[in-house]
Amino acid sequence: MALESCLLLLILFLLFVETRTQPNQCGEIHLDSQLSPTSNLLSWLSPSGHFAFGFYPQGNGFAIGIWLIGQPDNTVVWTANRDDPPVSSDATIHFSEEGKLLLRTGQGYEKLIADQSVSDSASMLDSGGQSLTRSHELVSSVSSSNHSSGRFLIRMQTDGNLVAYPRNSASLPNDAYWGSNTDNNVGLNLSLNHQGHLFMNIDKSESQVLSFASSSYSCENSTTIFRAILDADGIFRLYSHCFESKTSWSVHVEWSALNNQCDVHGFCDFNSYCSGTGTNYECSCYAGFVFNDPNEKFSGCYRNASESFCAGRKEGRKYHVTEIENLLFERDPYSAEELEEEKCRLSCLEDCHCDVALYMDAKCEKYTFPIRDRAFLYEKLSEIISLTGEFTLKSFSYDELEKATDGFREELGRGSIGAVYKGKINGGQKTVAIKRLEKVLDRGEKNFQAEIPIIGQTYHRNLVRLLGFCFDHSRRFLVYEYLKNGTLADLLFTAERRPVWKERIRIALDIARGILYLHEECEACIIHGNITPQNILMDDSWIAKISDFGLSKLLYPDKIRSSMALLSHSRGHLAPEWQNNALISIKADIYSFGVVLLEIICCRSSIKADVSTEDEMILSRWAYQCFVAGQLDLLLKDEHVEYESLERMVKIGLWCVQSDLALRPSIKNVILMLEGSEDIPNPPSLAPVLTTP
């Protein structure tokens, strides 16, 4: 038996409500009562008015269910016959004279919702009190708006373990991605009480075997309702709903079984892998595969190349091996032998069954597709450094880099720190970008070599990866991955076609997530200190990646002092504290991000001399003037953008560029605002800007 993924809120009849539902309909429900989606009575309320049962909109029709009433959206907690198609507007819910709750359609179709033949009336309750008992399970929904059976389940096993699995797996031990580790406790139940305590106990005993969570959120002078749910993403969570009034609430996550989305087996389906940390994740296809549905990237990938080469062994040599770094499989290979790395590569090419080869500790393991998502990209290099020396930074000699760049012949660009050259390493197989550090303060070899490994351990999809370094007396170089699509400055200021609005918002989120990693997620917090469009590069998929991080001083332990000599080229992006030679915190990066965000919005540089009026020269002040005047369309010239979306982005940028660093939001709050998850008040006026030529 599969239950909808809600524990507390299972009541015989709960009710969903819209404005047509009348408060006086609460209480006893008599025989021969009925509901219709087109009548004034489309749902029945519980006595508190917080719950409703009846019809709610689903797809092109209606579904029957129970929901928690709130604004702006209700929260569906149970759906009858959840995998049936929606019904049309001529359907009715009928509480028959025999005590049966029936669904009837205009075509004469009738289906049982609940059978209470011994009752002559029914009523909506507020008590809840469902338990998950032995051999029963909760099944996730497809999404927050589609409540059909989804991809994950959590089962109360007969051995006493509460275990989460992908729903289409065999539910074997290797398929599980979370468990309570309470085996050998036969008869355990999972319960949630009205105080928000989620626990496991034996049958109806009050003796608790395991406590998962207790409410920690204080909801003063208000009603609090708790619900435990297996969310559509496969993670089991406990929520609290704090009601300030009958329709005004706030929702809080009290507890989560997992904190990393990529720990959910099967979140990314066949032939794809999950990368990221926490809620910052993505599904990607392996090389040679494309998404089954680009709009639902978790749905897996299919091969976009012919398999006919397997007819002859030599045909395989036409194919090449694409490296995916920092990848680890949790499945058994069909072949494992000790080989050198190059021989492992060739062995996979010549084996028609081999689609993936994992080389680790001088062992070559071969796998065949389809590959389910047991593969994880670990974001912190330190977590996998013991697996292989492949991912440690390489120390290059000056002669090696001179040869790699053909005498530093092709210059890719030049900044305040130095020039960047295109080069090839690994026998010409790998293209890299080699940065010469010309204006770094002389801190000595010991300090330089102490900081470089820390920078090298940063690994995130929105950071340019450092591959190696060179320290040869006064000659210092950093070797980075090569990104052929240039800088964000090229894309915004010189490209023939500037990115459309949605692309620009996505780029802003990319940058913010990279900054979040530097500030909060790597082992040593790093202040970038020089966030500009010139230091943001675009990869083959036009994903934004931050470069030059860590070239200012690392944050040991919390603040650094400004170095204007290092950053004099980017005065338009510098927070006021840089110009005052003050102590620098992570809020300096927030200021720089705000300037870059305004540049992304307007597709123009932060300081521009060739403008119609003097007011337009400094972008942040021009944006604030347009915001106050209600003329934000002037920032975009001929481009049409939804005003509400434009206003939201401008307000975020203006909050970030406040002179008072205490007013600037954290990068985590910036991301919430960019995603639309947090309200944005109007920003205060901007202090005068000091610019230096």
pLDDT at 320: 52
Strands, DSSP E only, in 426-527?
430-436, 466-472, 475-481
Integer CA distances (angstroms), 160 to 96, 188, 229, 280, in order? 40, 5, 19, 33
What's 603's DSSP letter? T
Does position 307 have pLDDT exceeding 60, yes or no?
Answer: no
Measured in whole angstroms, the distance separating CA 648 from the mean position of its chain's CA atoms is: 20
pLDDT at 556: 36
pLDDT at 248: 66
Question: How far apart are alpha carbons 482 and 51 in whole angstroms?
Answer: 56
Does position 145 have pLDDT exceeding 60, yes or no?
Answer: yes
pTM across the whole model: 0.47
* Cis-peptide into 72, omega within 30 deg: yes
Dihedral of alpha carbons 614, 593, 296, 61, sign: negative
Of 275, 285, 288, residue with least CA distance to 355: 288
Does position 313 have pLDDT exceeding 50, yes or no?
Answer: no
Question: 366 forms bridges with which residues in the sheet?
Answer: 335, 357
Inter-axis angle of helices 619-629 and 643-656, nearest 10: 130
pLDDT at 665: 94
The predicted model gives 27-34 an average pLDDT of 79
Choose the most confident range, by mean pLDDT, from 23-37, 194-208, 376-390, 500-514.
Answer: 500-514
The predicted model gives 341-366 an average pLDDT of 79
Lowest model confidence (mean pLDDT) among 61-70, 184-193, 478-487: 184-193
Contact indicator for 243, 50 with CB cutoff of 8 Å = yes
Q: Which residues contact 504 (CB under 8 A, 6 or more apart)?
A: 600, 601, 603
List the 188-192 sheet strands across, edge first.
Answer: 131-132, 188-192, 198-202, 208-213
- pLDDT tens figures, 529-575: 889 999 999 988 889 999 988 766 533 334 445 444 444 445 678 88
Does position 22 have pLDDT exceeding 60, yes or no?
Answer: no
**Would you call 574 helix, strand, or coil by DSSP?**
coil
pLDDT at 520: 86
Contact indicator for 603, 492 with CB cutoff of 8 Å = yes
Contact indicator for 640, 668 with CB cutoff of 8 Å = no
* Identity of the residue numbered 614: E
Binned at pLDDT 50, 70 and 90, residue 375 comes out as very low
pLDDT at 630: 92
The structural domains of the chain, ordered by start, are 2-123 (2.90.10), 131-258 (2.90.10.10), 272-390 (no CATH), 394-481 (3.30.200.20), 488-674 (1.10.510.10)
- pLDDT tens figures, 595-634: 999 999 999 998 888 888 888 889 999 999 999 999 998 9
Integer CA distances (angstroms), 314 to 168, 449, 690, in order? 38, 47, 67
What's 42's DSSP letter? -
Q: Between vectors from CA 552 to CA 551 and to CA 555, what angle results, nearest 5°?
A: 115
Contact indicator for 381, 389 with CB cutoff of 8 Å = no
The predicted model gives 223-228 an average pLDDT of 88
The maximal CA–CA distance of the chain, rounded, in angstroms, is 93
